[in-house]
Amino acid sequence: MQATAKKTGQAKLGSLEELEQLRGELTAAVDPDQTLIVVCHGTGCVANGSPGVTEALKKALADAGEDIKVVPGIKTTGCHGFCSRGPLVIIKPAGIFYQQVKPADAEDIVAQTIQKGETVERLLYKHPQTGDTLSTTEEIPFYAGQQRVVLQNIGQIDPTDIEDALRAGAYAGAAKALTAMQPSEVVEAVTKSGLRGRGGAGFPTGVKWGLAAKHGDVEKYVLCNADEGDPGAFMDRSVMEGDPHAVVEGMIIGGYAIGANEGYVYVRAEYPLAIKHLEMALADARALGLLGENILGSGFNFDIRINRGAGAFVCGEETALMRSVEGKVGEPVPRPPYPSDKGLFGKPSVLNNVETWANVSRILERGWEWFAGLGTEKSKGTKVFALVGKVNNVGLVEVPMGIKLRNIVMDIGGGVPGSDHFKAVQTGGPSGGCLPWEDADLPVDFDSLIAAGSMMGSGGMIVMDDRDCMVDVAKYFLGFLEEESCGKCFPCRLGVPRLRETLVRFSKGEGTAEDIDDLYSLAEAIKMGSLCALGGTAPNAVLSTLRYFRDEYEAHILEHRCPAGVCKDLITYSIDPEACTGCHACFRACPQNAVSGEKKKPHTIDESLCIRCGMCMESCKFGAIQVV
């Protein structure tokens, strides 16, 4: 926003020196020892009421009088990651971590922590296993096991304030690239860093750039794929919301490296906060001369536009995304020609996803050698995962490549509620697959996941327990892809519904062992025959679950039984007369009036009326309702 430039009275920055001078002034203006209240304003915490907490804290501070030296007082930031414990409030510089804070807690926080330096016991995190009360971020296992590179500034900076981003080092990498390096040196640095695309396929980023750069002095484009649509994934959204400058900076570097003067961010319209913060970041960067003509006196011109996607999953596919930006129907086109030769508007183009661009900023800032030292031999750096499902600590985590699945789910994720292991972890979104507990020691990197029949994808990670049916899960993902298929190529449009229909029959206890053989054959045809990766990976959901949970499929087909108790046609609900207290809760909850019985006497369920919605089970406080 122009407001920033007005606020500092800062004119456009004409050189690297002017940028560093401004950064120095901004840093000197803030005392790192001053008390600062940080409130998470990520989408998860906002939904849980963090704006109300912020308002209450502001009021409590004002009421407490002027002897409290808090400048700027309260900072609102992007997603801290620990979404299941939100709203989160951190008191700096001590780093005291308060969770599930309500507006009513504001007075205590101000009176005890800000004024007296004491912690508010009830708001601290308690270790679920040991019962210890942990007072700072660093002590909490959820954070202690992580290594934050892409997320390093999220939770630290106010994403709507470019000055705060500059204090944290924003645009240092881009400035270095533009003023001290040749474009070819930038491509080389990214290649040597070993960075692979975080959108899913893991193609070496530097190699991709080199392919586009070699076209010389023609019109080119860089694009950012922010069309994240995998069920359960919100990594890219959080990066755009929490540190939009990292994305902008990465794209400036990429544009310089390949010789593009224009960039596009293709972001789904379902992400309004991300779009708002990106727009603010672009306006601020323009006002400071970090975007536009002759950036930092380097002679390089570059600007970025935002393109809103209308919510088609297939538009995350690179060729479909480019057609959509062009204003055409978002359908993929066959490659070759590759976008690095003929991409957006037929010009050489480079598309990377949000997390990749954010990594580029760090690599140029700290050097490729540092990045190449992180992760495994073939998968460098870190990966951000959205950890969701049957796991105690739901949230956003960033870990070094090669970390074991077990460490992510059991240590950082705090384990599975009511169980000492997970049944399966679904990785890679609809394109990926389910990995079983037996694979808990699998290193999480691009190649290991593919070898195990899944994939990294953009980083969704859904934890499942014994109450999740693998046939049902595969059915869900196929249903998603059936709806999201563009319908252009025949194997995907015709084949994915047939795969799903077969699974629907399985979930009803119908089908034979031969159907499983047919399933493999059809899956192979869809994988090999489809035009783009949506169809090409669609069978993964069924193939990976068949590979690891074939017994569960056989239980459905041969024994007409759903071991997880999910598939409605194969289960019945019954009431244990010993456990039932006759409290009438299920009687009231049942929408079919299938439950009968007098108060204080054991109830029964009429199976002919029951629609197996599970409302009775949810309402029962005594565990008296069982699934058979």
Partner 1 sequence: MLNLTIDGKQVQAEPGWTLLDTARQNHIDIPTLCYHEAVEPFGACRLCVVELKVGDNSRLVASCVYPAEEGLEVHTMSEKVKNVRRWILEMLLSECPASEAVREMAAEYGVESTRFEVKNPEEECILCGLCARTCSQVVGANAISTVGRGPSKKIGAPYMIPGDDCIACGTCLTVCPTGAMRARFDQVRGVPAVVMARSGK
Q: Which of the stretches 131-139, 398-406, 443-451, 477-485 binds partner 1 when contact is defined by CB under 8 A? A: 477-485
Alpha carbon distance 557, 488 (integer Å)? 33
Closest C-alpha among 61, 41, 290 to residue 158:
41
Q: Which of 230, 439, 482, 552 binds partner 1 (CB under 8 A)?
A: 482
Shortest Cβ distance from residue 336 to partner 1 (Å)?
6
State the minimum distance, in angstroms, from the CB of residue 322 to partner 1: 16
Is residue 486 close enough to count as binding partner 1 by CB under 8 A?
yes
The Cα–Cα gap between 626 and 575 comes to 6
Q: Could you say whether residue 488 binds partner 1 (CB under 8 A)?
A: yes
CA separation (Å) from 219 to 149, 181, 215, 325, 345?
32, 21, 9, 16, 10
321 lines the binding site for partner 1 (CB under 8 A): no
Distance of alpha carbon 348 from alpha carbon 330, whole angstroms: 19
Q: From the list 314, 470, 503, 564, which residue makes contact with partner 1 (rule: CB under 8 A)? A: 314
From 485, 507, 537, 540, residue interacting with partner 1 (rule: CB under 8 A) = 485
**Min CB(379)–partner 1 separation in Å:** 21
Contact flag: residue 231 with partner 1 (CB under 8 A): no
Q: Binding partner 1 by CB under 8 A: which of 334, 420, 578, 608?
A: 334
Contacts of 130 (CB under 8 A, 6+ apart): none
CB of 508 to partner 1, least distance (A): 15
From 443, 529, 563, 582, residue interacting with partner 1 (rule: CB under 8 A): 529
| Shortest CB 5 distance to partner 1, Å | 44
Q: How many CB atoms lie under 10 A from the CB of residue 346? A: 12
Residue 490 contacts partner 1 per CB under 8 A:
yes
Minimum CB separation from partner 1 for residue 377, in Å? 22
8 Å CB contact between 85 and 50: no
Tell which one of 11, 104, 144, 525 touches partner 1 (CB under 8 A): 525
Tokens 């004119």 sit on residue: 11
Query: Six-digit token pair at 432?
Result: 């990926």
Q: Which is nearer to partner 1, 259 or 430 (CB)?
A: 430
The secondary structure of the chain in percent helix, strand, coil, rounded to multiples of 5, reads 45, 15, 40
8 A C-beta contact, residue 224 and residue 263: yes
Nearer to partner 1, 233 or 499 (CB): 499
Site string for partner 1, 336-375 (x = CB under 8 A): x---------------------------------------
Give me the phi and psi of 392, to 5 degrees please. Answer: -65, -45
Helix ranges (DSSP H) in 96-203? 106-108, 115-116, 141-144, 162-167, 172-180, 183-193
By CB under 8 A, name the one of 37, 531, 542, 546 that touches partner 1.
Answer: 531
Amino acid occupying residue 413: G
Identity (one letter) of the amino acid at 32?
Answer: P
Q: How many residues of this chain interact with partner 1, rule: CB under 8 A?
A: 32
Task: Give yes or no for residue 580 binding partner 1 (CB under 8 A).
Answer: no
Site for partner 1 in 267-286 (CB under 8 A): none
Cβ neighbours of 353 (radius 10 Å)? 27
Please state the φ and ψ torsions of residue 483, each to the nearest 5 degrees: -70, -35
Distance of CA 605 to the CA centre of its chain: 42
Among positions 493, 547, 568, 584, the unique one binding partner 1 when judged by CB under 8 A: 493
* Part in contact with partner 1 (CB under 8 A); list of ranges 157-165, 248-256, 481-489, 601-609: 481-489
Q: Which residues pair with 37 in a beta bridge?
A: 74, 91
- Residues 6 or more apart whose Cβ sits within 8 Å of residue 328: none
Q: Does 495 bind partner 1 (CB under 8 A)?
A: yes
Choosing from 47, 310, 494, 579, the residue that interacts with partner 1 (CB under 8 A) is: 494
CA 431 – CA 272 distance, rounded (Å): 26
Site of interaction with partner 1 (CB under 8 A): 312, 314, 329, 333-334, 336, 482-491, 493-495, 497-498, 501, 518, 521-522, 524-526, 528-531
